[in-house]
Amino acid sequence: MAMFDDKRSKKVILVAHCILNQNVKIDRCACYPGTVKEVARVLIDSDIGLLQMPCPELFCLGLDRQAGHGVNTTIESEDTRVAQRMIEDSTRILCREMVDALAYQLDEYRKNGFKIVGVIGINGSPTCGVETTWCNDKEERGSGIFIQMLNEECSDRNIALAMRGIKAYEPNKAVAATEELLKTSVI
């Protein structure tokens, strides 16, 4: 008899923390009161298990990202400051621990016959960007530090991960990217 012989889909997808919980975003960046509703609906309707990734910025810098209170900043300057903080040795160590914990979970799913559909990240994020990240005071092509580390660890473990990035303020494009990832994962 097979393990897990019940109604579960045996499919999981990794989702950036802030897609399911906008409360974790830096000040002035939340586009929704809670979840990115359009993307969450697509995921829920797909009957795939949602594996919410930890928010590296929350774990490393706190909810306020250690911002100076009363300091007049722009969203761009805060993104730059966070990007610089997230590549420091101490934050890289914490990111490595989070990546190791995620990779363990993925190994468990894989060895028990589950399909790992992929990752939905947040483009423009210094940590969870997939196609674009934030560095050098602007959005640039490339992945955020956490996604880079996750991708490297999964590659080392021979775990293939399809990845797509979205932006919460572009719901139609976000839904299209999510649907594209789900379609490419059909067995």
pLDDT in tens, 113-124: 999 999 999 999
Domain positions in the chain: 11-184
At position 133, the amino acid (one-letter code) is T
For the entire predicted model, the pTM comes to 0.92
Give 10: exposed, middle or buried? Use CB within 10 Å, 0-12, 13-18, 19+.
Answer: middle
Distance CA(136)–CA(82), nearest Å, equals: 11
Computed from CA positions of residues 170, 177, 47, 25, in that sequence, does the dihedral angle turn out positive or negative?
A: negative
140: Cβ contacts below 8 Å, ≥ 6 apart: 132, 133, 134
Confirm if 57 and 86 have CB atoms less than 8 A apart: yes
pLDDT of the chain along its 187 residues, tens only?
A: 567 888 999 999 999 999 999 999 988 889 999 999 999 999 999 999 999 999 999 999 999 877 766 667 788 888 899 999 999 999 999 999 999 999 999 999 999 999 999 999 999 999 999 999 998 889 999 999 999 999 999 999 999 899 999 999 999 999 999 999 999 876 4
Distance CA(2)–CA(8), nearest Å, equals: 13
